[in-house]
């Protein structure tokens, strides 16, 4: 059986996932057969170019015409269009893969989670950093008790693409379209890895700030207000007693895409940076310093599908891994994680950070 895939969105994430779909048969021969069937957007001319470039058979300007025709629906549009198309696809019995964060608001994310529960088909949230081999390696070490009882989690996600106050306004600067700024766009990834590696977050104390209140509209003399955060930080308490700190910024001068985590346990520690994604720094009990492990051996997670040991992979390969896992779950009527349940759980933490900033108090994560 060949899975017909429909994709909403053809820019940044559209290219990332289309590239992943194209790589699957070459490097993952046991992956499901997939056809890039239809790509969806509003601009017909841009759609035609995108279909040609990304290898889709046809185009559509209305997702409603697509969600019950395809075998799998990818929702890669801006955050404010995550809920309605995804819910419609699930109600039609179509498996859905949705970019993160799951939705702009906790209420919308809850509706998406409920639709996934009712549908009974795979519904995946695209937290691709779970599928970095070094992160999978770290997860295995933690689960095996190699670093003991977890005491601390530290996560930072730093970028600098908005440092210039003249950088143009985009939908990511608008609360109605994005929900939040650095918190949802970057912090969602950190929260998901925290949950994946350490466990559930019980309460948080958060702070959000906006450094530039308005930005120019590209191609005009107008400006538009910035209604989301440019940076956030948060303290967290995990249910297992571990302490956490989270931080993200689009104003961290000198950082292009640096997602870094540290996990400290009673018998060792781990450090990882996305800018060196083939490496994991490991401190084991009794050692005096960190050992840098190059996670490229053929018995490391996913590495046997790529190149000989020592030949590193990159950011784009994380999308291949997550697409492989998701589409395999679809073909085999299996389960996929991170699911909409995981996306909603991450959204609960993001919502708590926002509520804490508004009240200047520690707040409980909803449902904990």
Mean confidence (pLDDT) of the chain: 97
CATH superfamily assigned to domain 130-313+338-363: Dihydrodipicolinate Reductase; domain 2 (3.30.360.10)
Domain extents in the chain: 2-128, 130-313+338-363
Q: Which of 151, 188, 344 is nearest to 263 (CA)?
A: 151
What's the whole-number mean pLDDT along residues 103-116? 97
pLDDT tens readout for residues 257-278: 999 999 999 999 999 999 999 9
pLDDT digits (tens, 9 = 90+) for 334-353: 999 999 999 999 999 999 99
Q: Is the pLDDT of residue 46 over 70?
A: yes
Asked if the model's pLDDT at residue 286 lies above 80, the reply is: no
Length reported for the chain: 368
User: Is residue 23's pLDDT more than 90?
Assistant: yes
**pLDDT at residue 368, as a whole number:** 65
Give the pLDDT of residue 203: 98
Name the band, by pLDDT with cuts 50, 70 and 90, for residue 59: very high
- Mean pLDDT across the stretch 232-244? 98
Strand partners, 266: none
Residues 6+ apart with CB under 8 A from 94: 67, 68, 70, 71, 72, 73, 121
pLDDT tens, 313-327? 999 999 999 999 999
**Which SS3 state, helix, strand or coil, does residue 341 take?**
helix
Whether residue 224 has pLDDT greater than 90: yes
- Is the pLDDT confidence value at 115 over 80? yes
Equal fold, 2-128 vs 130-313+338-363? no
Q: In this predicted structure, what is the pLDDT of residue 285?
A: 80
Six-digit token pair at 234? 């948060």
Q: How confident is the model at residue 39 (pLDDT cuts 50, 70, 90)?
A: very high
Distances in whole angstroms, Cα of residue 289 to Cα of each of 15, 110, 149, 277, 292? 40, 44, 19, 20, 10
Share of the chain above pLDDT 90, in %: 97
Percent residues over pLDDT 70 in the chain: 100
What pLDDT score was predicted for residue 366? Answer: 85
The structure tokens listed for 123 are 């519904």
Contacts of 328 (CB under 8 A, 6+ apart): 31, 32, 334
| Rounded Cα–Cα distance for residues 315 and 317 (Å) | 5
CATH top class, domain 2-128: alpha beta
């Amino acid at each position: 059986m060949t899975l017909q895939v429909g994709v909403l969105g053809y820019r940044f994430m559209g290219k990332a996932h289309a590239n992943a779909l194209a790589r699957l048969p070459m490097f993952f021969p046991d992956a499901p057969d997939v056809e890039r069937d239809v790509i969806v957007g509003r601009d017909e001319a841009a759609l035609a170019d995108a279909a040609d470039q990304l290898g889709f058979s046809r185009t559509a300007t209305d997702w409603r015409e697509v969600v019950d025709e395809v075998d799998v629906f990818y929702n890669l549009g801006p955050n404010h269009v995550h809920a309605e198309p995804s819910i419609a696809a699930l109600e039609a019995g179509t498996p859905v893969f949705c970019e993160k964060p799951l939705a702009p608001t906790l209420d919308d994310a809850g509706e998406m989670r409920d639709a996934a529960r009712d549908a009974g088909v795979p519904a995946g949230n695209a937290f691709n950093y779970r599928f970095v081999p070094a992160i999978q390696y770290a997860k295995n070490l933690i689960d095996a008790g190699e670093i003991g009882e977890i005491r601390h989690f530290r996560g930072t996600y730093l970028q600098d693409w908005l440092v210039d106050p003249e950088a143009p306004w985009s939908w990511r600067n608008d609360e109605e379209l994005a929900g939040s700024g650095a918190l949802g766009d970057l912090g969602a990834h950190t929260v998901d890895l925290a949950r994946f590696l350490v466990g559930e977050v019980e309460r948080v104390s958060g702070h959000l700030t906006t450094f530039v209140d308005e930005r120019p509209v590209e191609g005009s003399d107008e400006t538009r207000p910035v209604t989301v955060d440019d940076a956030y930080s948060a303290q967290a308490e995990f249910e297992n007693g571990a302490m956490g700190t989270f931080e993200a910024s689009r104003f961290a001068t000198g950082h292009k895409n640096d997602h870094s985590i540290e996990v400290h346990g009673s018998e060792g520690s781990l450090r990882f940076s996305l800018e060196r994604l083939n490496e994991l720094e490991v401190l084991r009990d009794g050692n005096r310093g960190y050992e840098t492990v190059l996670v490229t051996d053929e018995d490391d997670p996913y590495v046997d599908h790529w190149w000989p040991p020592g030949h590193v992979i990159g950011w784009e390969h994380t999308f291949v891994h997550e697409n492989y896992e998701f589409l395999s779950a679809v073909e085999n009527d299996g389960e996929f994680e991170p699911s909409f349940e995981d996306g909603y759980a991450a959204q609960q933490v993001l919502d708590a950070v926002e509520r804490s900033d508004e009240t200047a108090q520690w707040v409980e994560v909803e449902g904990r």
